[in-house]
Structure 1
Amino acid sequence: MTIYYVNSATGSDRNSGTGENSAFATLSKVESLTLKPGDSVLLAKGSVFNEQFDIKYSGTESAPIKIGSYGTGAAPVIHSGDDGIHSLYASNIVIENLKISNSGGAAIYGGNVSNWTVRHVEVDKAGSSAEAGSVTFRNSKNITVADSKIAGVNSDGIWIEKVDGIKLLNNTVTNSHGARADAVQVNDSSNILIQGNHLDQTQADSSKGVIALVRATNAVVEDNTLTGGGFGISAPAGKNVAIRDNDISGFHGYDWSFAVGLGDQGNSRDYDIAGNHIHDGAWGVVVTAPVDGTSYVRSGIKVHDNVFDDLTQSALKVDRPASGSFYNNTIESGVKAYSISPAVADAHTFSVSNNHTVANVETALATTATTAAATTDAVADQAVVAVHDNLKIITDTGEAHRGNLLENDSSDSGTLLLRRFGNESVGKHGLTLTGEYGVIHVDRDGSYAYTLDETKLPADHDGHVSETFHYGVNDGTSQHSDGDTMTVFIHMDGLLS
């Protein structure tokens, strides 16, 4: 197992490459080697490489080949007129702690590969010469993309096609541009987990949406914050799809815009849409189909225990033959509960029951959070349970907006402490962080004060923006802990004069 070092500033391709003081200078020199299982290629922080990096050899499951970084300073950067990192048929690869910027094609492209992990990678403005997904995998197996940041790409932020075994975990994708661009698109794939991501298309020039999940089998989309776009989640065909506990907002711009849509590109069977907060958009959940006479099966669709508010259209729309149920949802007054075509209503195949209308959805959210914490504690026997928090800013006087992150969290011991916020430790004097749209101070007891900076809001004063902070809590012993997110929703309609 050999570690190879590459330093664009001080290295030389005449060196051995096996020490920091004898580093190579170029990625092409690494490509000339026969990498073996367990080998690592480390790029010096602060280095810039103006070339595509081709990965040709495979590791093993117990000894993957790793591409990473070393030293201090900014992450090493790969620029390329083609792809940033490119590979065909290589397996058992880990890529971490790098930045890929201004690539002509994809930032990372893997075709016919297996057992890849991409983590802590930053992608900026990829796809400048083509509409290629910035992180792209095709015809592959067991792909994980985690804890990475993708911004301003001219393409889908993440593009997955014909892959069995996908995990997209805790990534941030912001403003994927292009007429056909979504933050995430997954086509014809199976065994999918999309969890804990913050996906924001608020300022994208795309006419599409946030997640496109097309013809998926065995998929779970949960605990994500999805903002902006023409739609939140388009899951037009698939089987055994769970969409749960997401916060979906800002989907508007078209009369068809929806939070969750299905049924228009193939058979849709066994969908469970539950526990989502759907707000600030047009339609809620839409079960539909093209008007060209194509006949698809839409069956086993359950829409339940969601919260709907601030929608210009109804919470549920069913305008094509379908079987399922709409029950136990909470709907803010002023939002129409459902729109079901007469033909579907007369067929009695889509039942509606036990939905609730409330005047103030924030109260309902607090109740839902408390119930969720109690349920999780009973089922999983967790000593500490953290539950997602929301701060909605509709008007602003310049004063701090205050609350407490721990009010809806729980601990068996009765003690809860905020230990981490925004990936920083919370000290005895608290922590102050500068976010995208304001400054927040948090203390160990969970109290927070968020001060909006109106100078950071987009020039267009209409619509909505949001930002999300991750946090971690424990019971004072560090033996039991949990984490979740806080999302700040800023309604700009009338906020600025």
Structure 2
Amino acid sequence: MPWAIATVGLAVAASGCAGLPHYAPAAHTYYISQNGHDGASGTSADTAWHSLARVERVRLQPGDRILLQGGARFSGTLTVAAGDAGRTGQPVVIGSYGDGKAILESSGDGIDVHNTGGVDIRDLTITGTGAPYAHGTGINLYSDLHGGTRPNHVTISDVDVSSFQTGIAIGAAGDTGFSDVVISQARLHGNEDSGLKTYGPAFDTGHPAYAHQNIDIEAVEVYDNLGNPSVVAHSTGNGITLGSVRNAAVRGSSAHDNGSNSAPLGHFGPVGIWTYNSTGVVIEHNTAYDNHTASLADGAGFGLDDNVSSSTIQYNLAYHNDGPGMYAYTDTPSNLYTGDTIRFNISDDNGRRLPQNGGLGVYGTYISGLEVYQNTVVMAGTGGQAPALLVSGSQSGITIRNNILATDGSPVATVLGLTASHVALQGNDYYAPSGLWYLIWSSTTYTNLADLRTATGEELLSGQPTGLAVDPCFSGGRLPIIRSPADAEAVVPSCAALVGKGLDLEKLFQTSTGPTDYFGHVLSTPPPVGASNPRVAGSNSATGSASLPVYSSRQTPAWSRQGQHPDGAQGTAGTRRQTQLAG
């Protein structure tokens, strides 16, 4: 994006006194009030400045604070530019004083942080002005540096951002983006393109690079980011989008009611929480529900998209989304999409608009080494071709183990165009309480596991049968419908049918599954099938005791990745094509 930044600072002349110790100017606190005056000193609440324009005339030193009067409204943009701030241990703070949050209104960007770090932004309401959205971003971190050290240490907390193109954006023109950014306790809503996004330059699969690293997103709520029906070149109406990142985490957050105004003719649709052109991303302990798409693409809860490696979707709840609860997809010809995991998630009542794409989907091409295990997927009331699991395209080394796949009047699983050498189904429970039980493999329909094993070699391990077709005894009924996060308990098995019936993945395949189920209870050995231990009346064999908090401490896998601009300005991202079942 164009940058026209005029920062008026203090000119420091060379003194020639080389023997003197370095002088660090004292930090200042500057106050801005509706009743202030730009001719005042600005260094106390009684001598406050009046406008954001007055702040722009100050070179912000490490440790300075810019405090806006709580409850008051201010118009314009606050800029922290190269030469401002920059010291990790002594950040510039932008926040509120007095009662309540200050309200910053802008027709462009609300707060710009350009080519610098050492900034804390907190306790603010930032609102775009325009019809219906401002032209900029609520909080915009942008680097056009090339080479050298990344700007680092930016924290954003306790903010409410609405009515912009994007709520919070972290972007880069080259490979030197931001490092060590923490975003927490934020409400990002009513924006057009995204609640929150990171992006970088066009992705080169031959020389992958990742603009940003170490991005933590925690306890963020993104909702009512509706999209733009006239934009078909890229997806709009997303919740949280991570592109061009090495090592990132999204945890304890929620994405809901996004995407309903996205483009009906778009080839790319919105998703609740997803990542692309990245490596080492962990998406855990989040909730995605009532996310929408107006086209025949996406509308999912969670996604691992183009060129994602060594990344994990785990311990998440997705329900009542237009597309799959979670998916893996790429169509970029490269060997970069590898080493990813989808585990211990609950997907319920998804595929509301696009049931043919499944409750859990693996599709596209060039995916390798994907592990999908210990998930519970329930598809109810969608009718027709609505598989709990869809696998299609050209993949290799895909393993799908120890999952509950339950449907009502649809195939329990559909695998198209693949063989047992490409994908392994082992240790899953396939359940259809009403209508015909059937599974589609390539162009053949199987009505029992025995025939599937004989014809395809699936649900076999060392020649011995694996897998089940039994009632998991969900505590909420045969095919429970989840309508709130509190309803997740409805898909916990309440009988012994699946107790210890899962494959021991650590022993058999050296898969490090982690110690707990979706609810934080210690896994039984052998493990159950599905995302949680069964809870059988009169037995303590499946409940365990919680050994982790609601969401675990940060995981930092050693992975690498790069990204493109999600809005299409630097390339095409979010290339999830419309997926249709073969006839």
Closer/same/farther in 2, CA of residues 123 and 376 from structure 1, 3 Å limit: farther
What is the rounded CA distance, in whole Å, between the counterparts of 2:255 and 2:347 in structure 1? 15
Structure 2 gap ranges (5+) = 1-25, 144-150, 201-211, 229-235, 263-268, 293-298, 352-357, 432-470, 476-489, 500-515, 526-530, 533-541, 553-583
Give the counterpart letter for 2:426 in structure 1: S
Could you say which residue in structure 2 is the equivalent of 1:88?
114
Instruction: Output the TM-score relative to the length of structure 2.
Output: 0.60
Indicate yes or no: 2:520 matched with 1:373: yes
Indicate yes or no: 2:216 matched with 1:167: yes
- Alpha-carbon contact 1:51-1:78 (below 8 Å) kept: yes
What is the rounded CA distance, in whole Å, between the counterparts of 1:196 and 1:120 in structure 2? 15
Could you say which residue in structure 2 is the equivalent of 1:306?
375
Task: Please point out which of 170, 188, 193 is paired with 1:137.
Answer: 170
User: Structure 1 residue 329: deviation in Å?
Assistant: 0.7
What is the rounded CA distance, in whole Å, between the counterparts of 1:259 and 1:68 in structure 2? 37
User: Structure 1 residue 4: deviation in Å?
Assistant: 2.5
Give the counterpart letter for 1:236 in structure 2: D
Could you say which residue in structure 1 is the equivalent of 2:326?
259
Could you say which residue in structure 2 is the equivalent of 1:29?
54
- Alpha-carbon contact 1:332-1:361 (below 8 Å) kept: no
User: Structure 1 residue 257: deviation in Å?
Assistant: 5.0
What is the rounded CA distance, in whole Å, between the counterparts of 1:10 and 1:377 in structure 2? 64
Could you say which residue in structure 1 is the equivalent of 2:225?
176
User: Structure 1 residue 326: deviation in Å?
Assistant: 0.9
Q: Deviations over 1:293-335 (max 9, x none)?
A: xxx5211111110011135422222212222111111233526
Task: Please point out which of 59, 63, 66 is paired with 2:90.
Answer: 63
What is the rounded CA distance, in whole Å, between the counterparts of 2:242 and 2:258 in structure 1? 20
User: Structure 1 residue 365: deviation in Å?
Assistant: 2.1
User: Structure 1 residue 12: deviation in Å?
Assistant: 1.1
Indicate yes or no: 2:251 matched with 1:214: no
3-state DSSP of counterpart to 1:60: coil
User: Structure 1 residue 18: deviation in Å?
Assistant: 1.2
Q: Deviations over 1:206-260 (max 9, x none)?
A: 35221231111111110000112211223222110100010012222xxx65532
Indicate yes or no: 2:272 matched with 1:223: no
Instruction: Report 1:122-133 matches (<5 A).
Output: 122-127=160-165, 133=166
Q: Deviations over 1:427-474 (max 9, x none)?
A: xxxxxxxxxxxxxxxxxxxxxxxxxxxxxxxxxxxxxxxxxxxxxxxx
Could you say which residue in structure 1 is the equivalent of 2:446?
none
CA RMSD of aligned residues (A): 2.9
User: Structure 1 residue 373: deviation in Å?
Assistant: 3.4
Instruction: Report 1:316-465 matches (<5 A).
Output: 316-322=389-395, 323-334=397-408, 336-341=411-416, 343-345=417-419, 347-356=420-429, 357=431, 358=471, 360-362=473-475, 364-365=491-492, 373-375=520-522, 410=545
Could you say which residue in structure 2 is the equivalent of 1:315?
388
Could you say which residue in structure 2 is the equivalent of 1:248?
318
Indicate yes or no: 2:246 matched with 1:190: yes
Q: Deviations over 1:97-123 (max 9, x none)?
A: 001012421101111143211110101
What is the rounded CA distance, in whole Å, between the counterparts of 1:138 and 1:89 in structure 2? 10
Could you say which residue in structure 2 is the equivalent of 1:396?
none
User: Structure 1 residue 58: deviation in Å?
Assistant: 2.0
Structure 1 gap ranges (5+) = 128-132, 290-295, 379-386, 389-406, 413-480, 486-497
Higher relative contact order (CA 8 A, sep 6+): 2
Give the counterpart letter for 1:134 in structure 2: G
Give the counterpart letter for 1:331 in structure 2: L
User: Structure 1 residue 286: deviation in Å?
Assistant: 1.8
User: Structure 1 residue 408: deviation in Å?
Assistant: 7.2
Give the counterpart letter for 2:344 in structure 1: G
Closer/same/farther in 2, CA of residues 377 and 43 from structure 1, 3 Å limit: farther
User: Structure 1 residue 2: deviation in Å?
Assistant: 2.9
Closer/same/farther in 2, CA of residues 146 and 366 from structure 1, 3 Å limit: farther
User: Structure 1 residue 264: deviation in Å?
Assistant: 2.7
Task: Please point out which of 108, 123, 142 is paired with 1:111.
Answer: 142
Q: Deviations over 1:371-414 (max 9, x none)?
A: 85342899xxxxxxxx99xxxxxxxxxxxxxxxxxx979579xx
- Number of positions where the alignment pairs a residue of Structure 1 with one of Structure 2: 374
3-state DSSP of counterpart to 2:369: strand
Closer/same/farther in 2, CA of residues 309 and 376 from structure 1, 3 Å limit: closer
3-state DSSP of counterpart to 1:336: coil
Could you say which residue in structure 1 is the equivalent of 2:571?
none
What is the rounded CA distance, in whole Å, between the counterparts of 2:33 and 2:252 in structure 1? 35
User: Structure 1 residue 3: deviation in Å?
Assistant: 3.8
Give the counterpart letter for 1:6 in structure 2: Y
What is the rounded CA distance, in whole Å, between the counterparts of 2:284 and 2:310 in structure 1? 14
Could you say which residue in structure 2 is the equivalent of 1:102?
128
What is the rounded CA distance, in whole Å, between the counterparts of 2:360 and 2:92 in structure 1? 43
What is the rounded CA distance, in whole Å, between the counterparts of 1:126 and 1:160 in structure 2? 16
User: Structure 1 residue 8: deviation in Å?
Assistant: 3.0
- Alpha-carbon contact 1:307-1:361 (below 8 Å) kept: no
Comparing 192-201 with 176-185, which one deviates more in the overlay? 176-185
Closer/same/farther in 2, CA of residues 370 and 59 from structure 1, 3 Å limit: closer
User: Structure 1 residue 94: deviation in Å?
Assistant: 0.6
Closer/same/farther in 2, CA of residues 85 and 269 from structure 1, 3 Å limit: same
Instruction: Output the TM-score relative to the length of structure 1.
Output: 0.69
Q: Deviations over 1:278-303 (max 9, x none)?
A: 111121222222xxxxxx52111111
Task: Determine which structure has the larger strand proportion and give its number.
Answer: 1
Aligned-residue sequence identity (percent) comes to: 20
- Alpha-carbon contact 2:388-2:407 (below 8 Å) kept: no
Could you say which residue in structure 2 is the equivalent of 1:424?
none
3-state DSSP of counterpart to 2:199: strand
Task: Please point out which of 352, 363, 378 is paired with 1:288.
Answer: 363
User: Structure 1 residue 187: deviation in Å?
Assistant: 1.7
- Alpha-carbon contact 1:370-1:408 (below 8 Å) kept: no
Indicate yes or no: 2:50 matched with 1:16: no
What is the rounded CA distance, in whole Å, between the counterparts of 2:305 and 2:517 in structure 1? 33
Larger-gyration structure (1/2): 2
What is the rounded CA distance, in whole Å, between the counterparts of 2:125 and 2:157 in structure 1? 11
What is the rounded CA distance, in whole Å, between the counterparts of 1:34 and 1:349 in structure 2? 59
What is the rounded CA distance, in whole Å, between the counterparts of 1:376 and 1:262 in structure 2? 29
What is the rounded CA distance, in whole Å, between the counterparts of 1:201 and 1:371 in structure 2? 24
3-state DSSP of counterpart to 2:394: coil
User: Structure 1 residue 7: deviation in Å?
Assistant: 3.2
Closer/same/farther in 2, CA of residues 14 and 88 from structure 1, 3 Å limit: same
- Alpha-carbon contact 1:309-1:361 (below 8 Å) kept: no
3-state DSSP of counterpart to 2:522: helix
